Amino acid sequence: MQEPKQPIKPKNVSRKLAFTISFFLAGILLVTFSFWKMIIVFLITGIGFYIGSSENLEGSIKSLINKVFPASDKKVTYTSEDLDKLKKTLEKREADKIESEKKEAQKKTVEQAEAEKKEAQKKAAEQAEVEKKEAQKKAAEQAEAEKKEAQKKAAEQAEAEKKEAQKKAAAKAEAEKREADAKEAAKKQTQKKEPKEKPEA
């Protein structure tokens, strides 16, 4: 069985610093600065610190390589500490996944509520616009009908006044004609009744 991993002890400070700084600079040269790339930098720095802190450099490198890339014909054994770390990592990933799904669901709910709100506002605005246009149309139709009714009444009244005036004018002309005929008849009657003058001797 593999011996349990020994804790890092401050044996050789200069070697720790040398390897830590070397791997840190190597990480800086490999990536540019961003969140995930900084994680890679710190990871590489941690590897350097781990190797620099070990008493047996060759053994530490081999142990690290065997853990990362285990041989297919060799059974890899993990310590209880490694299993605890793995368990905690898996639990953390599961918790992060649940939290991410929860946030995603909340985000979708908020987006859906916002979309429904905007849709309701849009429908209400469209309905209000339709009702406004309908009211304007009805008001215009009513005004047009009232205008036509007023014009019709005015035309009928003017026609009635015109006919009345024509009727009065005709009656007046008829009365004047009768009066003239009566005068003419009276004149003729007067001329018939007058005696004829006798011739002088």
pLDDT tens, residue by residue, 41-59 = 667 777 777 777 766 667 7
Residues with Cβ within 8 Å of 37's Cβ and at least 6 positions away in sequence, in order, are 31
- Examine the fold and report which residue of 36, 57, 77 is the final residue of a domain before the chain moves on: 77
Residue that the structure tokens 């649940």 belong to: 98
**What's the confidence (pLDDT) of residue 165?**
92
Same domain, 37 and 71: yes
The answer to whether residue 192 is domain-embedded is no
pLDDT tens, residue by residue, 92-103 = 999 999 999 999
**What's the confidence (pLDDT) of residue 71?**
63
Q: Which among 48, 70, 76 is positioned nearest to 60, based on CA atoms?
A: 48
SS3 36: helix
Scored b (16 or more CB within 10 A) or e, 168-200 reads eeeeeeeeeeeeeeeeeeeeeeeeeeeeeeeee
Domain count, the chain: 2
User: Which uninterrupted H or E stretch holds 14?
Assistant: helix 13-30
Contact 60, 51 (CB under 8 A): yes
Phi, psi for residue 11 in degrees, rounded to 5: -85, -65
Per-residue pLDDT of the chain (201 residues; tens, 9 = 90+): 445 544 444 456 777 787 788 777 666 766 666 666 666 766 777 777 777 776 666 776 777 677 776 666 556 676 788 788 888 999 999 999 999 999 999 999 999 999 999 999 999 999 999 999 999 999 999 999 999 999 999 999 999 999 999 999 999 999 999 888 888 888 888 887 765 554 554
The answer to whether residue 191 is domain-embedded is no
- Examine the fold and report which residue of 16, 48, 77 is the final residue of a domain before the chain moves on: 77
